[in-house]
Structure 1
Amino acid sequence: MKIKVIAGLSCLMALSVQAEEFSPFVDKKGEISLPDDFRNTMSHLGSWYVPQGDASGFHDVYMPADQVAQYRESGQFPDGAVIVKELRHSASGAYTTGAGVSHATEMVKQTFVMIKDSQGRFSDSGNWGEGWGWALFKVGQKKNASMNYKTDCLGCHIPAKQHDYVYTEGYPTLHAK
């Protein structure tokens, strides 16, 4: 009986270590957390500006520098890669550069996180599939607001399926030499 308990404990410890080695932003149950201070600790990949609709505003996208380097070498996102997209409100006005110039404001609308999972570690979760973990964080919340990536996230990413569901053409940092 003691051997089974030790083996079970060993198995739990191995799962915990695997989750930590996979990504510091994923717990052993597959719950994704929003990386702290990502604007200061990650590389800025690029920005999108959406002028109208629910997704209007500036979309600034970040990824850890070592993962950017791995992508540049292989052309693929490494297992455990973290992509953070912060959606901010915008404002526009007349500046010396012209009229109707838009800029991001301090007000965040929401933040998205994708974590590459080439091994399907959490396939029984509603937020893991298509080779990624998917998360949506509303302002002031620390818990993933997405309940099902197929209905909450995938619709916007299907056109980018050929690029592993990521709009890589908008991220010059991934392609810089």
Structure 2
Amino acid sequence: MKTKLVIAAIASTLAMPLLAADSFSPYVDGKGQINLPKNFRSDFVHLGSWAVTDDKSAARGFHDVYTERKSLDHYRKTGVFPDGATLVKEIRNLETGPLTTGNPVHWAGDPAVWFVMIKDGKGRFPGNPLWEDGWGWAMYKADDPRKNAASSYKADCQACHIPAAQTDRVFVQGYPLLKKQ
């Protein structure tokens, strides 16, 4: 009976997804591949929202940003995101129309893209082009949310995050929950 339990425990362990060497994030495998967290809208804390209304902008849409409760608590105590923190930005199509509250009114429509950042304070994936400036970077499009569409941080992410270099590449001014209370 004891042997069966040991074999079952080993089989269970082998069936688990391969995590990074020190298991710092359940959303990252041992090669540095980042997965889009499931249920982030219900399991994470909503930090804040942005609306980009410029018709010519590639970022046009309603931007909602989420993180884990423990990452939020750590940030509020220390002013920095902890190693392994996950940030998810969901961009939803911007819907516009007249409502009783005003004209035009803007609201979030269907999801278009998700961006995921994982804080890496230890440089775990040297040479991986999606891990630079202290974070892992990923982008998922609504037509295939299982595939990371980003090829490298420098090509796909860096340009947008340069203005936030002084705040660890995160636009913290849009997230009221990050402020100490």
Q: Under TM normalisation by the shorter chain, which class is it?
A: 0.7 to 0.9
- Letter matched to residue 123 of structure 1: P
For 2:49 and 2:148, the matched residues in 1 are separated by 23
Q: Does 1:36 align with 2:34?
A: no
Deviation at 1:20, TM superposition (A): 5.9
The two structures have a TM-score, normalised by structure 1, of 0.87
Is residue 91–residue 104 contact of structure 1 (8 Å, CA) maintained in 2? Answer: yes
Matched-pair identity in %: 49
Gapped regions of structure 2 (runs ≥ 5):
1-13
In structure 2, the partner of 1:66 is: 70
Q: 1:161 aligns with which of 162, 165, 179?
A: 165
**Structure 1 consecutive aligned stretches of length 4 or more whose deviation exceeds 4 Å:** none
Of 109, 112, 116, which residue of structure 2 is paired with 1:113?
A: 116
The answer for the alignment partner of 2:128 in structure 1 is 125
Q: Which structure shows the bigger proportion of residues in helix conformation? A: 1
| Cα distance in 2 between the residues matched to 1:17 and 1:115 | 13
1:18-63 deviation digits (Å, cap 9, x = unpaired): 5462000000010000000100000000000001211101000000
Which SS does the other structure have where 1:22 is aligned? Answer: coil
Give per-residue Cα distances to partners, 1:77-128, cap 9 Å, x unaligned.
00000000000001111112111010001x1111000000011001210100
**Cα distance, 1:66 vs structure 2:** 1.0
Partner residue, 2:5:
none
Q: Give unmatched runs, 5+ long, in structure 1.
A: 1-12
Contact kept in structure 2, 1:20 and 1:26, CA below 8 Å: no
Aligned residues: 162
Q: Which residue of 1 aligns with 2:52?
A: 50
* Contact 2:67 2:88 survives alignment (8 Å): yes
Q: Which residue of the partner structure matches residue 4 of structure 2?
A: none
Structure 1 vs Structure 2 CA RMSD: 1.5
Query: Offset of 1:141 from its aligned partner?
Result: 3.0
Match of 2:94 among 84, 90, 95: 90
Secondary structure at the aligned position of 2:23 is classed as helix
Question: Using a 3 Å threshold, how does the CA distance of structure 1 residues 132 and 50 change in structure 2: closer, same or farther?
Answer: same
2:27 match = 25
Q: Is the 8 A contact 1:45 1:171 kept in 2?
A: yes
- C-alpha contact (below 8 Å) 1:19/1:26 kept by paired residues: no
What is the letter of the counterpart of residue 116 of structure 2? Answer: V
**Contact 1:117/1:132 (<8 A) preserved:** yes
